[in-house]
Amino acid sequence: KAGVTQTPRYLIKTRGQQVTLSCSPISGHRSVSWYQQTPGQGLQFLFEYFSETQRNKGNFPGRFSGRQFSNSRSEMNVSTLELGDSALYLCASSLVPEGNQPQHFGDGTRLSIL
């Protein structure tokens, strides 16, 4: 079956702009999590959505937000982009939102801020 799909794969923006990233989970998976990956900080949890509700949020500023649609697809938005937002943004899906559920990752969106 199709895996987790993230679009776009690459994105270049300038400081102050905003960006929206999209994630389509594996069919039947209702939980979607977002992570930021950088060389210095590793994989850091952003937030998790289940049944269109944010269930968990990591330690990121309010500029980072997300939502989930009724078909479980999810988007994340970053406003007022900063240079430090340059990173690989990964989306992962799982059947249910339990802490130990295996995560199925997409290949990420590489965001570069100029």
Nearest alpha carbon to residue 92 among 8, 31, 42: 31
Return d(Cα 44, Cα 34) in angstroms, integer.
Answer: 9
Q: How many residues bind other proteins (CB under 8 A)?
A: 24
For residue 39, give every residue at least 6 positions away whose Cβ sits within 8 Å of its Cβ, in sequence order, or none: none
Residue 59 interacting with other proteins (CB under 8 A): no
99 binds other proteins, rule: CB under 8 A: yes
CB closer to other proteins out of 60 and 79:
60
| Ranges within 4-23 binding other proteins (CB under 8 A) | 4
Is position 25 an interface residue for other proteins (rule: CB under 8 A)? no
